[in-house]
């Protein structure tokens, strides 16, 4: 079909054709065809012989390549091109097979130009003019592509370096936790001679692992805020931690009430019995009670540094996929390791640590600071162990 007059005016307004004489524009329109391409339609196929090129008049197209992997075809989008622009202009220079495919993103209008027609004698001057115009456009596009490629390569190189550093960091943390667990499983001989027993040993080993985490964090290329070591949005994180901790306290209270009344059949035991675990000799050791609470408050942030700041942060950087799936996978895996670290006490204690740990992992991912999980950890732990008094039950 012949091209309408308004298409000629449209072409004259395109930067790439701005210096072409009006007569050349009219001659180009005489050998071109307007084509409407529906959204999703592929109008240039990879591997086909390039005998035409296109001027995108309106809309947007995407350039993609097809690769076969494991017996299946996978399409990889290389770039998107919006009007006004050229597609398939390499056909002006040679008739080689197309290196990629092109499809319309939405409804697109293109001007299709047959290069074989342009190469006829009567269109020789037009052909030379198009070589000049399109050649300059193509050179500029290649320069832009080179700049983008170099930037992308530099970015990928930095990502690779960072991933290697995080990988080494992750290995250190996992190894330290493995040593931690083995140490706690082999203290039965010495814990009778240490005040506080295995809990005291837990604190010592936890401090050592936290020191390893801090040293490893300082050696990675990421800033320390990547691992939650920041007070940015601290007040908002604190308020959120308090808000979400309250229903957890209510659930824990109801769970203890039901356990005493029905599971353990011990209704005579008071619901709130904070001093019972610290009165094994018949009298309350208030100093030990307060010291134990203080140690718990101080070591809770250390646990969050290891589990949330180190493990969960590393997993979120390693894993790929939808953000929600990456977040919850990181939370679950780091929380399982967190629960495993409590398994030397009792299985029930490990389970009790796992469940609220899901909340703390979510709070950390939500705010990106250790303030939120630390505040919630302290609130839930102090209430459960030193106010409600569930230490003897779990």
H or E element at residue 78? strand 72-82
Pairing between β-strand 60-69 and β-strand 101-104 as defined by DSSP bridges: antiparallel
Neighbours of 153 (CB within 10 A): 10
How far is residue 285's CA from residue 278's CA, in Å, rounded to a whole number? 6
Report the pLDDT value the prediction gives residue 3, as an integer from 0 to 100.
Answer: 43
Is the link from the previous residue into 84 a cis peptide, with omega within 30 of 0? yes
What stretch of H or E contains 198?
A: helix 198-219
Return the half-sphere exposure (C-beta side, CA atoms, 13 A cut-off) of residue 259. 12
What DSSP string runs through 260-304?
IIIIS--TTS-S--TTGGG-TTSS--HHHHHHHHHHHHHHHHHHH
pLDDT for the residue numbered 230: 92
pLDDT tens-digit series, residues 178-232:
776 666 655 555 555 555 555 666 777 778 888 888 888 887 777 888 889 999 8
3-state secondary structure of 49: strand
Query: pTM of the entire structure?
Result: 0.60
257-269, pLDDT tens digit by residue? 888 877 677 777 7
- How far, in Å, CA of 55 to CA of 36, rounded? 12
Q: Which residue has better confidence, 213 or 350?
A: 213
Segments of the chain assigned to CATH 2.60.120.10: 5-119
Look at residue 200 in the predicted model and tell me its pLDDT: 66
Q: Token digits for 305?
A: 């540094």
Model confidence at 350: pLDDT above 60: yes
Could you tell me which residues come within 8 angstroms of residue 293 by beta carbon, excluding any fewer than 6 positions away?
382, 386
pLDDT at residue 2, rounded to an integer = 44
**Lowest mean pLDDT, pick from 4-13, 96-105, 237-246, 383-392:** 4-13
Place of tokens 């370096």: 161
Contacts of residue 54, defined as CB under 8 A and 6 or more positions apart, other chains included, come to 35, 43, 44, 86, 87, 88, 102, 110, 111, 112, 113
Give, in words, the CATH class of 5-119.
Answer: mainly beta
- The mean pLDDT of 104-116, rounded to a whole number, is 88
- Does residue 248 contact residue 240 with C-beta atoms inside 8 Å? no
Check residues 114 and 370 and name the one with the higher pLDDT.
Answer: 370
Q: What is the Cα–Cα distance from 267 to 261, expressed in whole angstroms?
A: 5
Helix H or strand E encompassing 25 = helix 22-30
Place of tokens 């209510």: 250
At 287-326, the pLDDT tens digits run 888 888 998 899 999 989 988 998 898 888 778 788 899 8
Are 310 and 213 in contact by the 8 Å Cβ rule? The answer is yes
Q: Which residue has the higher pLDDT, 137 or 294?
A: 294
């Amino acid at each position: 079909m012949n091209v309408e007059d308004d298409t000629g005016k449209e072409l004259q307004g395109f930067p790439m054709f701005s210096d072409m004489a009006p007569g050349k524009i009219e001659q180009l329109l005489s050998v071109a065809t307007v084509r409407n391409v529906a959204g999703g339609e592929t109008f240039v196929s990879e591997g086909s012989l390039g005998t035409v090129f296109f001027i995108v008049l309106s809309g947007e197209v995407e350039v993609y390549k097809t690769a076969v992997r494991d017996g299946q075809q996978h399409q990889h989008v290389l770039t998107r091109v919006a009007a006004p622009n050229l597609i398939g202009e390499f056909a002006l220079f040679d008739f080689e097979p197309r290196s990629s495919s092109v499809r319309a993103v939405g409804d697109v209008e293109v001007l299709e130009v047959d290069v074989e027609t342009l190469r006829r004698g009567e269109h020789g001057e037009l052909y030379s003019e198009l070589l000049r115009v399109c050649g300059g456009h193509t050179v500029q596009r290649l320069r832009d592509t080179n700049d983008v490629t170099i930037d992308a390569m530099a970015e990928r190189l930095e990502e690779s370096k960072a991933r290697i550093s995080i990988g080494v960091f992750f290995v250190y943390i996992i190894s330290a936790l493995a040593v931690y667990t083995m140490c706690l499983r082999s203290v039965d001989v010495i814990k009778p001679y240490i005040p506080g027993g295995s809990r005291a040993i837990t604190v010592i080993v936890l401090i050592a692992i936290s020191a390893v985490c801090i040293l490893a964090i300082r050696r990675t290329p990421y800033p320390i805020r990547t691992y939650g070591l920041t007070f940015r949005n601290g007040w908002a994180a604190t308020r959120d931690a308090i808000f979400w901790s309250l229903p957890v306290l209510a659930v824990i209270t109801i769970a203890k009430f039901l356990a005493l009344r029905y599971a353990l059949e011990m209704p005579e035991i008071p619901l709130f019995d904070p001093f019972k675990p610290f009165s094994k000799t018949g009298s309350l050791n208030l100093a030990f009670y307060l010291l134990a609470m203080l140690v718990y408050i101080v070591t809770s942030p250390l646990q969050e540094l290891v589990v949330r700041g180190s493990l969960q942060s590393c997993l979120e950087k390693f894993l790929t996929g939808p953000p929600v799936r990456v977040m919850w996978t990181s939370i679950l895996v780091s929380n399982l390791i967190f629960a495993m670290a409590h398994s030397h006490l009792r299985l029930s204690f490990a389970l009790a640590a796992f469940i609220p740990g899901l909340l703390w992992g979510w709070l950390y991912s939500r705010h990106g600071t250790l303030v939120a999980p630390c505040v919630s950890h302290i609130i839930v732990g102090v209430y459960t162990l030193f106010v409600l008094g569930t230490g003897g039950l779990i």
